[in-house]
Amino acid sequence: MSYPYQIKSFEEYKEVYERSVRQPQNFWADIASNFQWRRKWDTVLEWNFKDLDVKWFKGAKLNITENCIDRHLEKLGNKPAIIWEPNNPDEHYRILTYNDLYNKVTQFANVLKNNGVKKGDRICLYMGMIPELAIAVLACARVGAIHSVIFGGFSARSIADRLQNANAEFVITCDGAFRGGKDIPLKSLIDDALESCPFVKRVIVCTRTRTPISMIKGRDVWWEDEIKKVETLGMAPAVAEEMDAEDPLFILYTSGSTGKPKGVVHTCAGYMIYTTYSFVNAFNYKQGDVYFCTADIGWITGHSYVVYGPLSAGATTLMFEGVPTYPDAGRFWDIVDKHRVNIIYTAPTAIRSLMSFGDEPLQGKDLSTLKVLGSVGEPINEEAWHWFHEKIGKGKCPLVDTWWQTETGGFMISNLANATPERTSWATLPLPGIQPALVDENGNEIEGAGSGNLCIKFPWPSMIRTTYGDHERCKQTYFSTYPNKYFTGDGALRDEDGNYKITGRVDDVLNVSGHRIGTAEVENAINMHAGVVESAVVGYPHDIKGQGIYAYVIYNGNHNAGDEDLIRKDITATVTRIIGPISKPDKIQFVSGLPKTRSGKIMRRILRKIAENETENLGDTSTLLDPKVVEEIKEGKL
């Protein structure tokens, strides 16, 4: 495959960018013409941010799996689509060619149909990073079902919340998942979740760990048995369902500053075009390159840049089941060496963690195949940037810092490898087609250099369309802060040349190891512990995780009184039960009161400063109801 829309130089970037602003419709129509359509669009774009009504490629018909698989078969049928590296390096890896992928996806799509799945049905996927997860994702898209993948670090209760919100009648899971030295009991967590989800009528269970699990008659079936059934029936490979450009492709839940996680909805055509276009441009992907994105498919990075973007581009995408430090801190570099990886895309938290092991894990690893490095998830600090660039890229590989979000579907601001200049710890320039804006507190757009709240003022194909089941919430959250703009929740700096440096969230959302965590959600979970009266959660700088979770807790339970560590463990266990292990607080400080204004609002600014060890400049505390609590909290600082 060749990519006529692949930008080759800075000059070309500037030209293309300018055109994308001047003639957005022509710009996107040209890119869209490189895809396979059942029917072409009537209009390229109709939009209205006020009511949040955005339609890309209206009237067009397609199926994303025909673009990710079928259209490659003639030329790339025998080329690897997916290379899968298991958790245990002694187990054999697997390669699925595009032909294999076609066979497996069309076969599993038949399994879905046999189990009664229809276009528009919601299917929840709770699986480890095995090829069957990618196959299941694509099989859902093949039959037009809306998938909702849930990361393995969420609790049964979080799964149940998502199943209920999506009203999903189907679940695909595994007996368990291998992650480093741990086995995660996926099916058992699903069983717990289903106690409160009687509407789920079918659970398809894929074998991975062979952990003993319960299988409930009439509800649970084995993946492998279902495959045998469609083989026995001699069913022809499932023909792709014809989808409307704006039909939902998937729901992915993400946390915000208030309430329960929102189901971000992405649609078929725009998402497909944008993930492919951005993948090919940011990484300067060349046919045959082996591309390794270390993200889990449970997050947007895995959706857009392990599965859909690379496969639609006919790329070879490497899926890794395990974690960076298992069996040791050289694992990523072993994988690069073993599979001759050309592009590696990972997160600052992983880089910082691996950096802390020194150079020893790099000894004897051949990294000479690497051509491009990528970073995502949080602002990359200078030390991590340089280590990645020098030690891994040997100073010769462009490092792309891709800024984007679950809601944006694909990269928004990033340098483009071998085309636009990189700059340490700066995401640099918007991709052509993306129109960012910086806005001050009063909602006025800032011109030229400056700093402010980062917005996007023109639609792009892979933008969020709605939050599942609650369109009003989507409008409120993203499109009402600043009229006629999408508000990202991030702050940014901009220089005279239009380069952006993302400074982090400006709302009550934490970024812990690249995972988005809502402080209100964690507070609710802590408050569910029987002895807790009230709590307040803030972030603090953490060497490896970027941000750690700092909880201030008012506790009046009698049980274990005096043994703070035991109480901390119980609170942590409560959070793990309610949200999942990814939201465990790193520090819990017991306090007798929280700094509140006279109107009862917690002054988080003060708590944040104390957690950050900035106890000197707490700013104005005169509006506090009881300034004494601040002194007490400062003294008890962990």
- Site residues for ligand WT7 per CB under 6 A: 254, 300-301, 376-379, 401-406, 427, 488-490, 502, 504-505, 511, 514, 516
CA 354/CA 361 separation, integer angstroms: 9
- Cβ proximity to ligand WT7: between 111 and 280 the closer is 280
- Cβ proximity to ligand WT7: between 110 and 402 the closer is 402
H-helix or E-strand spanning residue 269:
helix 268-282
Closest approach of Cβ 453 to ligand WT7, in Å? 12
Closest approach of Cβ 516 to ligand WT7, in Å? 4
Return the ∠ at Cα 608 (arms to 606 and 609), rounded to 5°.
65
CA 486/CA 496 separation, integer angstroms: 23
- Cβ proximity to ligand WT7: between 5 and 404 the closer is 404
Closest approach of Cβ 261 to ligand WT7, in Å? 11
Give me the residues paired with residue 552 across strands. Answer: 536, 589
- Cβ proximity to ligand WT7: between 193 and 502 the closer is 502
* Pair 281, 183: CB distance under 8 Å: no
Closest approach of Cβ 511 to ligand WT7, in Å? 6
DSSP 394-440: TTTS-EEE-B--GGG-S--B---TTTS---TT--BSBPTT--EEEE-
Return the ∠ at Cα 326 (arms to 322 and 331), rounded to 5°.
85
Bond preceding residue 324 cis, omega within 30 of 0: no
User: Which residues does 554 contact at the CB level (< 8 Å), separation at least 6?
Assistant: 532, 533, 534, 535, 590, 591, 592, 593, 594
Q: Which residue is nearest to ligand WT7 (CB)?
A: 406
- Cβ proximity to ligand WT7: between 402 and 420 the closer is 402
Closest approach of Cβ 491 to ligand WT7, in Å? 9
- Cβ proximity to ligand WT7: between 341 and 376 the closer is 376
CA 531/CA 356 separation, integer angstroms: 38
Closest approach of Cβ 488 to ligand WT7, in Å? 6
Closest approach of Cβ 243 to ligand WT7, in Å? 25
CA 474/CA 459 separation, integer angstroms: 15
Measured in residues, the chain has a length of: 638
- Cβ proximity to ligand WT7: between 174 and 400 the closer is 400
- Cβ proximity to ligand WT7: between 62 and 380 the closer is 380
Q: What Å distances lie between residue 637 and 75, 563, 590, CA to CA?
A: 62, 17, 9
* Pair 110, 207: CB distance under 8 Å: no
Closest approach of Cβ 514 to ligand WT7, in Å? 6
* Pair 378, 504: CB distance under 8 Å: yes
Closest approach of Cβ 321 to ligand WT7, in Å? 20
- Cβ proximity to ligand WT7: between 377 and 436 the closer is 377
Closest approach of Cβ 466 to ligand WT7, in Å? 16
* Pair 313, 287: CB distance under 8 Å: no
Give me the residues paired with residue 243 across strands. Answer: 62
- Cβ proximity to ligand WT7: between 179 and 505 the closer is 505
Question: 328-341 as b/e, with b when 16 or more CB fall inside 10 Å?
Answer: ebbbbbbbbbebeb
- Cβ proximity to ligand WT7: between 209 and 405 the closer is 405
Closest approach of Cβ 379 to ligand WT7, in Å? 4
